[in-house]
Structures are given as C-alpha cells and as structure tokens.
Structure 1
Amino acid sequence: MIRPTLARRAAGAALLIGAALFLPGPADAQPSGTTEPGAGGWRTWVLSSGAQFRLPPPPDAAATRAEMEQLRALAASRDAEARERIGWWDAAAPAYRWNRIAVEEALKAGLTANFGYRHLALLHVALADATVAAWDSKHAHNRPRPGAADPAFGTVVATPPSPSYPDEHAVAGATAAAVLGEIFPQRATAFAKMAEEAGRMRLLAGVAFPSDVEAGAELGRRVAAAVLERGRRDRSDQPWSGSVPVGPGLWNGTNPATPQAATWVPWMLASQDEFRPPPPAAHDSLERAAEMAALRAFQRTPLTNARALFWEAAVGGLRQYEYWNNHLGRLLLEHGQAANPPRAARAYALLNVALSDAGIACWDAKYAYWAIRPFQLDREFRTVFATPNHPSYPAAHACYSMTSALVQSHLFPRDAEALRALGRESGESRVWAGIHYPSDVAAGQEIARRVAARAIERARADGGEQAAP
C-alpha cells in the first residue's frame, strides 16, 4: 500500500546522480532492443496521428532527482500483496490485461456478439491509438527509466525496453477506465480504481517516475474522449423501430435478435450494405428444396453433434467474443508478442474492429432478406439444438468465425492452416446442427473474406508490418 505522503526515505538511499543521467537523449541514442521504436508513427484509428496529443517535455533534472527519492521511499514499502499486484499488471501488455477485464464484464452483463464486439472494438481502438500516442511522446522525449538513471536502484520487474515518459500502463489504464466506464456506467468507479492501481504499481515496481504516470493518465483521458465521441455517433444506442415482415418464405417469430445492429456505423466499411450478398434462394425454389433435402439426409453422428454443440454452447452468441479474444491472447503469448504494448494493442484492435464490422454486414443482410429458417420451412424437421432467434441468411457463425480466422491468419501466418480450419468448422457445424442451409454458410464466409481483406489491407498500410518481428 502506498502511503498518502512520500516523505519517508529509504535508509542509505542518498546517491549523487549526475544531472545528465536524467536528461532526455537523442532519438538515435535508444538501445537496439527498444520495443517498437517506430510505433509512434503507426496509423491511428480516430486520432489524426500519434502526435495529436504529444505531451510537453518531462520534468527537468532537479525534479527528476526529487522523484527518484520518492521511488526509493516507495520501494521500502513493498510488501507481498504489492508484489502480487505488480506481477498481475506486469504479466503482459496493457491491452491484454484490459481485454480480459472487458470480456469478463461483457459476459457478466450477458452481452450478445453484436454488442460484445462493438464495445471491444471501441475499447481496443482507444487502446491502440493511446499506445501509438504514448510511443510518439516516449520517443519525442526519450526519458531514461529510473533504473537507467540510477543503476543501483532495484526494481521488482524487468525494466521495459522503452523510454519512461509517459508510462504505458497509466496511459492504457486511463483510456480503458474512461471507455469501459461509459459502456458499463455502474462499474465506472471500479474501473477508475483499477486504472489508478495499474499506474501505482509501476511506481512501486520502480519502473516509472510519478510524472510518467501522471502524464500518462492525462494522455489516456484525452485519447479516450476522442474515441468516445466517435462511439456516441455509431447509432448503437438506438432502439429498433421496425416490425417483423409477414409473407411466405420469411422468417417468422417475435423479438428478433438485435435487428438494430444492421444500422450501426462500421469502422472500415463504406456503409452497412457494402458487402451485402445477393438475395437467398426463394423458399419455393428448386435450389432451396435441394438444400432442405440435403439437411434431412445428413447423417448426424456423435462427433458432428458434439462439434455442433461446442460451437453453439462454447462459442455461441453470448461467448463469441470470449472465444476469439482468448484465442488471440494465446497466439500473442505463443509468438512472443504478449508483452509488446504496441503490437498487442494493434492486434486486438484489428481483430475486434473486423469482427464488429463483420457483425454489422451480417446483420444488414439478415434483416434485408428475413430468410426463413429450416425448421420453419419444414415443421417436421428436427435440429440438434434450438435455432437462434434471427433470420437464416447469412450464417452469423460463418461471418464471425471466418473473419477472425482470416485476420489472425494474417497476423500469425504459421498458424494460418489451423485457424482457417476452425473458421470452416464453425460454419459447417451450423449445417450439421440443421439450423442453417449450406448457402447461408457460403454467404457468411464471403462476407467474412471481404471484411477480413479490408482489415488486412489496413494492416499492411498502418506501419506495423514493416516493424513486425
């Protein structure tokens, strides 16, 4: 626990440190192992550039010496609980930790895939832009870390290989707390406390100066404000004002799932209907009759039922975002990028923006055509589990899962084959379960390919490809 005042000094801590050790150095003085030194120039999503909110220079040498004394006093107050919390926040890059926090909140709130991906896209766009902005200021000022300023000073965790000012955990914490606080207002105070702890643990760990954390929090709040302004204009707060159409061959039921998502503002698409597929086969056509016959003839096995149930129960509407974000977290860890703040933030933003846009494009088509489900077309037909309460065409699992598979395949090409297999199985499982026609899956996968291609096109041009390890 950090005391309210920082008056207590660590015994025997007084060392004479040359003023030059505290002064910023030239950009080319950074060590060769510096994490993503060019990330401050990566393309941003909402900010005009990483330099839009560039911070003023850090405190001078005299102020930095005083801050060093504060850190020595704090180091003497570390206890087992503090060390545990330091390790929890330091386990991976800030985007990874805040992703886990956000996903858990979304699950507690029972959010469907549409809202889950919308909120995660907003959060991770903010974190990606905030991280680029942090790296811009870091390398504009090149302030050495406390351990570099005083080699005798002990830290709890390894000193990050990047300039100290501003602190990236404080930047991300303030950003995430502001965004999540607006999405889940009843939890805003809790998020603010988490953000404060994230910055405080960097001081206790000895890897950031108090002014690094203070400046980082201010930068994070400014980025969050800009991203939230965009989020308030995406129409996700508008209720559905339409009605279920009535007619032969149309989906029929009440309370269709999130039809308003068809009108939300996408991030990368020119419009919601940019990738709208052609109309599905008519309910009384030979093509639809052949698909219905294929569904009836499909020989279900314990394995196909089990895989269908997996994709429904473990990766269904309420857990879509958990599964694919967990998958990305695992790949970041396996590829040595989980502790790389700019690269982790970039990956989470690309994935969740693509998935949010895929959902919008998918829902645009669903509620443009209102295609009838197999069990509605043939009342004698039995499915493996209850059919989700929205139109059949295109298949949402195919839209979401193939988008995720293709975006992650680009980010982690050595895993591409396994990822694409997951994307295919997710779509096929809906046919195995009898809740979709094969053409629903094909249309969903085509939407996914086009949305993923847009995300990959952006990734190739955002500056991060050239710096890829």
Structure 2
Amino acid sequence: MTVLLTGADLQAQPEPGAANWKTWFISSVSDHRLPPPPAYKNEIGQVLLAQQALDSAGWQQLLYWNAGAPGYHWVDMVKDLWMSDTGYNGALANMLVGVAIYDATIAAWDTKYAYNRPRPFTADKRIKVYVPKPESPSYPCEYSVAAGVAVTIIGHYFPHMHDSVNKMAQQLMTARIAAGAAFPGDTRAGFELGKTIAQREIDRTKGFTPGTAWDGKMPQGPGVWKGKRPMFPLAGTNKTVVLDSSSQFRPAPPPDFAKEMEEMKRYNQTFSSRANAFYWAGSQFWYDALNKKIFEHNLHLNPPRAARIYALTAIGSYDGFVACWDAKYAYWGLRPDQYDTTWHPLIPTPPFPGYPSGHAALSGVMGELYAYFFPADKVYFRKKAKDAAESRFQAGIHFRSDNTVALELGSKVANAIIQRAKRDGAEDTPETKVFFPKKPVGH
C-alpha cells in the first residue's frame, strides 16, 4: 500500500526548489522574475475590508475559486471549449493552457522564494484564513498566475469568451484576497505574470497549426473512407511538442478488413458490452479520474506538482491527437458501416476515417501517463484504456485492428512524454518519493 501525504504534510513541503524544474516554452524563469513586492503593511487594511464585506455571493465565489489547484477550473473550461471547436486551434489552446500554467507557475516559484513575502494571515493576526493554509510565499499569487494565463489564451483563441474570462479572473483575485491567502499586490502581479508568459507561448507556437486550407482531395477506390466533409483532415500536419513529428509512430497500413467484419457480425452483444459502448461514447472519464486522483493525493495543495501533471496530460492529449490524425489521413481507413452498408452500429459513426481509433489512441496515452503519475493504480488505468478501446468495437464503429493499433500508438506517445518528464528535475525532490514511488511502501 502506498503511503500518501496528508494536507498538513504537503503544507510543510511547498516545493521550494520548483524554480529549477525545466519549462516547456520559456527558456529561463529568471528572465521573468518580478520586481520586489510593495510593502504589505499598506495592504493589510484592504484584506481586512474584503473579509468584512463578505456576503452570501462573496462566500460562494470564495469557495468556488479556491477549490482545487490553481489550474483546476481553467483546465476544465478549455477542455469544453476545445470539444466545441470546429477549427484547428482548439487542441492547441487546450495544450497551451495546461503548459503555460505550468511554465508560469515555475516562474512564479522563482519570484516567491526570491522575496519570501509572508501571507496575509501570517502578517497580521486579525486576518482570518478561509482556505487550507498555503506555506509558500505570498508574492505572486499562484491562482492569479493561472488566471492570467487562461484569460490570455482563451481570449485569444475564443474571442467570444474574452469578456467572460476576464470577469472570472477578477472574481478569482477578489476571492483570494477575501480568503486571506493573498494581498492585492500579489494578485495583480500574478495576473500580469501569467498574461506575459501566456502571450510568449502563443507567439512561440505560431505555425503549429495548418496555415493553408485543405485542398479537398480524397483518395478513391475500394477500402478507403467515403464522406463529404471529413473532420480535421489537416490535423496530422500540426507541429508536435514532444514527438519529432506527427508521423514518428505512424502504424503500418490497415489490413483487409474482411475477417474483422465477419468477427464484428458474429460478436454476441450483451448488456455489459452495450453499456461499455455507450459509457465511453459520452464519458469524460480521463478528465474526471485525473482530478479525483489529484484530490485524493492532496496534490491540489501543491501547485507546481499539480501544474506539472496538467501540463503533461495536455501535451499527451495534443501530441496523441495529432499523431492519430496523421495516421487517419495517411490511410483513410474506412468504417464498418462503409465496408458493409447493411451494418448498423450502436452509435452514430464519426465523420472521419476509422484507422486508427481516436478514442483508443488517446486512452492509450492517458492510461500510460496516469500509470506514471499514480503507479499504485497503473493496472487500473491500463485496464480502463483497454475498456475504452474495446468500446469502439462494441459500438460497431471501429474494426478491432483500429483499436489495437491505436492503443499501441498512444502508449508510444505517452512513453516519449514520460521520458522527457523524467528529465525535468521534478523527480529529484523528496516529494517524488511519495508521489512517484519506485515500489509500494508500507503494508
């Protein structure tokens, strides 16, 4: 049985060395070190006034915005926006929110320990603290850093959300002050730091998505996907983050699906198989499971480590998606209901080629990443990846080889990311022995 840290234990270990962890899209955190903070004595009164002014609505905002790690609500928001995006920037925006929050958090940790500014509740005993007491220095506010990142990236890629996310960010900063966790100067500085780094990363990733429109050319003949408006036909040309290219792990061409079509027709559906097919068709299992584990391990109280997990997951989603779509449009593998027009799947067939399966590929990525994040649960998460892959066969929208090849593809993408992660310096800290144990500890 793995021994986990309690919230109190984590508060005693606020990752003072996180500023030495490697970042993704900024070269040096010291380049982003903020100027010294203002005198906090001048801000104590503002915090006291914010606490005295708390009403029912203020308490609701306080509880909402202080829940979870700094990136928790923003990662959730961009995940939903990505799924609704019909262009090529949704996946990029989703990746950038996760990565830029991590990079900006690491930069914030450099500034925090350069100045060691006390938290409001430590600076003045009249100030109450309404959240788990953070033990890291107060300047800059790490929650405001994440808000600055999210406002900049979401506002850039989803302009219709610009005013809404700015309003949310202001609510968050007010909530941190009223909670007694940050001075007003901490929130302002954090917000601006997050915005600056996010803009740097938007600029750094220009050219990651296709710069030209699809020419509309589709292969003809037997054995290829047929449709009028294929979704994301150029996604496989996106520039990747960890992979050398989108085709680095491209699988071999698809087989003749004759035997697999026969297997699908012979498959004996049960209540359980149908339930599995429908569950994975609409489930957000991987997102929900990640947050659950972050809370169970008290990692929401450790902003740098939580940000690292969100960043690696975001990169996995992005590189896995690009690698899968590279293969889809390299081969244009047809779907079962195209191979045999008398076949009726359980759920609607997605509007893009079948080989390899997107569900299976991304589940392969997540299964391996989560096994790395939470090694005591590696059997569970790998089993879930297989369940997700099998669900697409059970739903009748993918041949079995679509799924087996995709799982392998996803695993290769994840392992490439894990190898990079092992060199980022985060495993060289004492906390790693608890979060990433080499073997179970205790009984």
**TM-score by shorter chain over 0.5:** yes
Write out aligned runs for 1:356-435 (5 A).
Answer: 356-435=318-397
Q: Distance in 1 between matches of 2:59 and 2:398?
A: 51
State whether structure 2 residue 23 is matched by structure 1 residue 44.
Answer: yes
Question: What is the count of residue pairs matched by the alignment?
Answer: 422
| Residue in structure 2 matched with residue 26 of structure 1 by the alignment | none
| Residue in structure 1 matched with residue 409 of structure 2 by the alignment | 447
If the length of structure 1 is used for normalisation, what is the TM-score? 0.85
If the length of structure 2 is used for normalisation, what is the TM-score? 0.90
State whether structure 2 residue 74 is matched by structure 1 residue 95.
Answer: no
Matched to 2:26, the amino acid is: L
Looking at CA atoms only, which structure, 1 or 2, has the larger radius of gyration? Answer: 1
1:233 Cα deviation from its structure 2 partner: 2.0
| Residue in structure 1 matched with residue 439 of structure 2 by the alignment | none
Supply the RMSD in Å over aligned alpha carbons.
Answer: 2.0
Cα 1:155–1:369 change in 2 (3 A) is same
| Residue in structure 2 matched with residue 337 of structure 1 by the alignment | 299
SS of residue in 1 equivalent to 2:428: coil
Which structure 1 residue ranges, 5 or more long, are not aligned?
A: 1-30, 316-321
1:73 Cα deviation from its structure 2 partner: 3.1
State whether structure 2 residue 100 is matched by structure 1 residue 126.
Answer: yes
| Residue in structure 2 matched with residue 301 of structure 1 by the alignment | 270
2:60 to 78, 84, 88: 84
SS of residue in 2 equivalent to 1:338: helix
2:239 to 253, 260, 265: 265
Do the aligned partners of 2:82 and 2:94 also contact (CA within 8 Å) in 1?
no
| Residue in structure 2 matched with residue 141 of structure 1 by the alignment | 115
Cα 1:144–1:461 change in 2 (3 A) is same
SS of residue in 2 equivalent to 1:407: helix
SS of residue in 2 equivalent to 1:270: coil
Matched to 2:103, the amino acid is: D
Q: Distance in 2 between matches of 1:178 and 1:403?
A: 28
2:136 to 162, 176, 179: 162
| Residue in structure 2 matched with residue 17 of structure 1 by the alignment | none
Where does structure 1 differ by over 6 angstroms across 4 or more consecutive aligned residues?
A: none
Matched to 2:391, the amino acid is: S
Do the aligned partners of 2:81 and 2:90 also contact (CA within 8 Å) in 1?
no
State whether structure 2 residue 406 is matched by structure 1 residue 457.
Answer: no
1:441 Cα deviation from its structure 2 partner: 1.3
Q: Distance in 2 between matches of 1:142 and 1:53?
A: 16
Q: Distance in 2 between matches of 1:202 and 1:379?
A: 58
State whether structure 2 residue 53 is matched by structure 1 residue 53.
Answer: no
Please give the per-residue CA displacement for 1:209-255, whole angstroms capped at 9, x wherever unaligned.
Answer: 22212211221111111111133321156532232211122111110
SS of residue in 1 equivalent to 2:125: coil
Cα 1:224–1:164 change in 2 (3 A) is same
Which structure 2 residue ranges, 5 or more long, are not aligned?
A: 1-9, 435-443
Matched to 2:354, the amino acid is: S
| Residue in structure 1 matched with residue 248 of structure 2 by the alignment | 274
| Residue in structure 2 matched with residue 186 of structure 1 by the alignment | 160
SS of residue in 2 equivalent to 1:465: helix
Please give the per-residue CA displacement for 1:412-441, whole angstroms capped at 9, x wherever unaligned.
Answer: 111211111110011112222232222211
Matched to 2:22, the amino acid is: R
1:174 Cα deviation from its structure 2 partner: 1.1
Higher RCO (C-alpha 8 Å, min separation 6)? 2
Cα 1:186–1:113 change in 2 (3 A) is closer
Cα 1:103–1:362 change in 2 (3 A) is closer
Q: Distance in 2 between matches of 1:80 and 1:380?
A: 59
Do the aligned partners of 2:11 and 2:133 also contact (CA within 8 Å) in 1?
no
Matched to 2:364, the amino acid is: M
Q: Distance in 2 between matches of 1:210 and 1:385?
A: 51
